[in-house]
Amino acid sequence: MGRMSIGLGDSANWGKGYGNEATRLALGFAFNELNLHRVQLTVFDYNPRAIHLYEKLGFQQEGIYREFLQRDGRRFDMYLYVLLRHEWEARERGRSNPKECRQRLRLTW
């Protein structure tokens, strides 16, 4: 199992597809290179853009941490989303060349 997290802090970069591309590349690496069966992430209910992206990529909501965070005098739920390898493979068939994705993905450890 792997956990992932992504954040685009500068709002000038929102809505340009960077989150989509970064998430797809990370998932490709997780499933194709690390041979993971399951990737999970958490997202707060105040982030509908991220929720939409994750659902578009095939993540399924598996749980809710109710009133997990207090911020600016309000409480927010945190959702647990999961994507399984066979779900990823079904969505990615015919979309992109994995070698091309690996060439664009540069990791520094």
Q: Give me the residue label for tokens 């993540």.
A: 59
DSSP string, 79-90: EEEEEEHHHHHH
Q: Give me the residue label for tokens 């970064």.
A: 22
Domains along the chain with CATH numbers? 2-104 (3.40.630.30)
Q: Give me the residue label for tokens 């105040």.
A: 46
More confident residue, 104 or 10: 10
Give me the helix-helix angle, 48-56 and 18-28, nearest 10°: 40
More confident residue, 65 or 97: 65
- Structure confidence at residue 20 (pLDDT): 85
